Each structure stands twice: as structure tokens, then as C-alpha cells.
Structure 1
Amino acid sequence: MDFILELPADARGHTGILVFVCRLSKMVRLAAVRKSMTAPQSAQLFVDNVFRHHGLPEAFVSDRDPRFVSHFWQHIFCLLGTRLDMSTADHPQTGGQAERVNRVLEDILRSVCAAEPTKWSTLLPQVEFALNNAVHSSTGFTPFYVNRLRHPRTPLTLPPASSLGGGVANAEDPRGLKGLRTSVKRNLLSFIETGEVVRQRVRDAMAAAQDIHKEQSGRQGRKNTQAVSAVGSTNLRPRFVGPFTVIGVHDHAYTLDLPSSMATHPTFYVGLLKPYRPAGAVEPEEPTASQNIAERHSPSSGRALPTEAGQEREQESEQEHEG
């Protein structure tokens, strides 16, 4: 569980989103909330959006938001027989899942609500469907398929003559009923077997992804993304501004030639920048590993776009060479 707050207020006064993410299937549930939402209200949203569809989870993982550590929630957990696990900051094995969903969710809303930022709450159902119908990198399946072993129908997948009716058995023919029972039993056993196979594959894939994450986190560290400048708030504003000329390279940070009107420090962490490409330029080919290494160690002057602090990006910054 986690919150996305400080969004533009919609017609009903909602300024945030309560995000629920299933640890196994990666299924996402979204609920628009007000900034003044209380612990009882968040508990009611959990019942309305999660409990009635999926039942009670064994445990919750969340940050130390006052709404989640209140006596009300603790009492709910005791009555329902579950537990609340608080995440530890910067720990690779606690939390992080909801934060990753939050970043993707903000990117989607920023794209679809650019013209009308206050309409974001009306698009939450479509955004939730899109997230749950996308293949997750750590499981190899869509959340819909992991939960139900089937993909939902969409307008593009409906056949020309779609029917929800099943076969009709003749009540006066016992052989037909026997054959129908045999077919149903066979399909049920196949469904159960497929479910076990899918769940085991998901667990194996998640374990492998966690091992890789832990190894990379221990080897590279998270680096300091807060000791650099921020440009405005995150919310649904455009992510990048610029372009600006790179005038200095300092290990994992670049210094940009910013106008004095911006009134911000000109040094930014490299993960918060991206190369500038003029509109209408031809998309570059995918660089090879050797090209990435060469470009990463090239201190040539170029242009880059700073993005807002706090938005961690794993891609390395590239620079445009002037010829």
C-alpha cells in the first residue's frame, strides 16, 4: 500500500491516489482520495477495492504513513488475523514495489492528462486495466492471467459473433449428461494443474529477480539522488525542461548552463538527465554495449535535459556530439 499525493484537484476534491499492489501477481488496485483522508476511510477503501475482490492477504507491506500505523488499522489487523509489515528506507527487499508502480502510474497520467490535468481521476479505471493487462518483467505474465489464468476480453479480441452461452445438454439423454460431467471434470483438473504451474513459474521468476536486484544494489549502491537540484514539483507537470548545455562533468553528476531566472543549483545527478534530440529527428539505432561504454566515459560537451529530483532512473545519460 502506498499513496500518490499532491495531484491537481479534480471536480470532487481528490488530490491523491491510494495504490494497492499484490506481491505475487502484481495486480494493481487504484482509488482516488482526498488529502484529508483518515485511517477509517483508508480502511474502507481497502474493503471496497481489495477485500471484496480478492479476500484477505496474509500481510501488508507499507511505509510508515500515519494512516497505516494508527490504532484503528492495528485493531483491524488483529481482528482479521493478518499483520502489517513496515518497510525500511532504501532496503532492496522491503517495499519498493508500490513505489515502482507509483512512478509508472505518474508517467501514464502525465501522458494521458497533459491537456486536462484535473481529469486524471476519471481515467483511473482505464489506467488500472492497462497496468493489469501488461506483462510484468519480474513474472513474465500479466497480473490478470496470474489471478484468473485467462486474459480479459477487449474490443480487439472479441470475435465477430461473440456469445456468452454454453453448450446445452439434453436432460433426457443420460449419456449426454455423463459426457458433459466428464468434460467439465477434465477441464477443471486442467485448470487447477495450469494454475499450479503458473504460480510456481511466477515464484521462481520473482526469486531470480530479487536475487539480481539484491546483487546489483549491493554492488552499485543507490547513489545519492537527493544532493542535487530539483526543478519544481513532480505531480503531472512535464518531466523535462530545456535543452541546456553541459558545462561540467563530475563523476555521477553534470553541471548545466542554466539561466539565472531558474534560481536553482546547476548540478544534477546523471540519472535525472536525458539527451536532447530536436523535434522530427530520426530515431537513433539501438546502441551496442561497446558504444554504451564509450559514450559513458566520453566527457564531451553536449546538451541534456534536467528532470525533477526524486525521480530515480536507471538509464545512463548520453551526450550529443557536435560535429
Structure 2
Amino acid sequence: MQLENPPTLASELTSLPVTSWRRFARDLHDGRIEQICILSDFERVKCEAEELKQLVAEGVDALSAKWKKERFDEQSWDSLKSSPFYEVLREYRDVPPDDIPAELPQDKGVQHEIDLVPGTKYCVTRQWPLPREQVKAIDDFFESRRKAGQVRESKSPHSAPTFCVKKAQGGWRIVHAYNKLNDATVPAQTSIPRKDVITDSMALSTIFSALDLRDGFYQILMRESDIPLTAVSTPSGMLWEWLVIPQGLKNAPATFNRCVTHLLRSVRDFAPSYFDDVFIHSRAKDGKSEVEMQKEHLRRLFALMRKHKLYANLKKCIFGASEIPVLGCLVGKTDPGKVRVINEWPTPSNVKGMRQFLGLTSYLCKYVSNYAGKIRPLSQLLKNIAALV
């Protein structure tokens, strides 16, 4: 709607807080905004609306990832000095290091294995030429990995090409095209953690932290007999083979997830893991505050990570937050307004009222442990009444 005589004085308008389109999109999706009235220059708002449309089209996961990136891009040791968890982090500074030690990792009890489909012969793809800048980046990358003892020169009959992908923050990501090897690899049957099980375990907690594990593949050894299968060529004519898991192998994420789950199994009750993400959740207990319990949990987790040489990326970690992004959704405390509406909802007296009430309480499923079990009597009652009607 366009106004012929729009207001010209600030006093004629309702005072509203300033917000960005990115923040607006997130609040709109989370249900914090119920009604919208925009007063703006038509041409300018049209351009900004296109930006909003693009953000929404990217999906919830992309918005959550961008929000997390914006919030924690500037996180550093200096910015954490005011945090109540700073002392714990300093005590275990080698867990989120500035630079990961350049060395061959210790055997963590889990090695990556490549089982080929019977009858498979050689998996070979010729290396294609690349620009000089990328060739230098690849050579520098392998030289650093050679010094770390993670690769060695190879005489393998297998070979996969190497190429580069531009990183969003600049620089090159080195990638191997293991297409033929992956096609000939028997898929792993390792189970993947269920998202609902992880979020359900966090239902009663009030304070959260999240760790992003760093260079996880390079911390797990290859099975010795499978090392020749990892051979990769470079545009400069070298042939290398990996002693640790390289990027791009089929079943590598499953092996990494299995390794992390195995190493952190003793802290699973308060620090569940999902591939390279570890979520720490705590609540006040035994006379200790939620912050004290979170510190205790972080110390136990960091001690295990130090023992097994697992490393976290400080810039991507979250410490002591009331809510954190967990696998595409925000986990934290409930919205007091929505809880108040549920508490004040009148007792249902018919099928329609019961359905409305159960639909309203479904908001709590992410926050209440065993939510389905708690509402089962009401769901069963609804079925019985519907059958009689």
C-alpha cells in the first residue's frame, strides 16, 4: 500500500527499534514477530525486500549458519577475557590451539578402512592441468603434510587427481577426486546419531556450549593395508599417499563420527557429539550453579580431548550461552510468552479443543524430555473420543 501524503515528522510515527533484514528474517522465522507494518521509501524497501527474499530462499540452516558466523567471527582470546569460562579455557589452551601440531597422530583405537567391492581392479583417473596459482597451493600443501608425516611419496597403481576450491574466507581448499575409488568402496553401515535423541538429552538444561572439532580427518590413521588406495597425483607430477584420512573418501565421515563417539563416550550424558560438533549442556545441581556445572563439564571434556589429541576451532565455539544452534534449530530456554499461553489455556471440553491444545503444546517437544510419552494419555483419549463420535 502506498500513501499519497506520508508522515513527515518523526513524532507522527510510532517509535520502533531499528533492526537489519537478516535479524528480521530470523525473528520472523522463530515466531517472535506476529504482525508487520513497514513505513519506508517504496523504491528503497523494494531493493531491501529482494535481499530478504534471497535470505529466506537460502533456508533455515543457512540463516542459522550466517547468524553464528556473524556472532562469533570476532571471537578470540582477548574477547573471552570477560567470560566466566576464560580460566577453564586458559587451563586447556592446547585444546583450542592457534595452530594444530604438525605431526602424525597417535592411534586412537579406530582406523579408517577401505573395503572394495569384489572384483575391483585399479582405480585411476588422470590428473588435469590447473592454473599456476593452484599448482603452487597444492605443492605447498603437500610439502607441509610431508613434514608433518601425514603423507609420503607413493608407487601405488591407484591414482586420483587433486584440485582446488576457493574458500569463502580466502585461500584454497585442497580436494581429491576419489570418484572411482568411492564407487568401488563398500558403504559403511555405521549408525548416525539421531537429531531428536541429541536434542531430547538437552531438554532440562539451562546453559549450553558448543565445540567445532578442527581438522578431524587428519587426526585418524589409515589402515596400513589401505594406504596405497589413497594415492593422489598433483599437477606438478608427484604421487602421494595418505597415512591419515584425506578429504573426499567415502565412509570417512562415518569413521570420524565413530571415533569421536568412542573417545568421548564417558561424557556422553552431558556432551553428545554429532560428527565434528560437540554440544555441552548443564543445569544447576547438587548445590552448584549452572555456571559451576558447565565449568566442571567443560574440564572433563577438555581433559579427554587433551588425552586423545582432539582439537577445537576457537572461532567457531560457543561458551555458556542460554541457547545454541543445534543441527538446524535453536536449543535453549522456552519462550515465556508461549508457556504462559499454554498455562492459561482453558481445559479442553471437546475434540476440537483437545486438538487445539495438543497442537499448541507441540512447541514444547524440543524442550521437554520424553514429550511424546507425557502427552500419550491425552493423545489416546483423543483417539477414543474420536472413535465414539
Higher CA-based Rg: 2
Relative to the length of structure 2, the TM-score reads 0.22
Relative to the length of structure 1, the TM-score reads 0.25
Higher RCO (C-alpha 8 Å, min separation 6) = 2
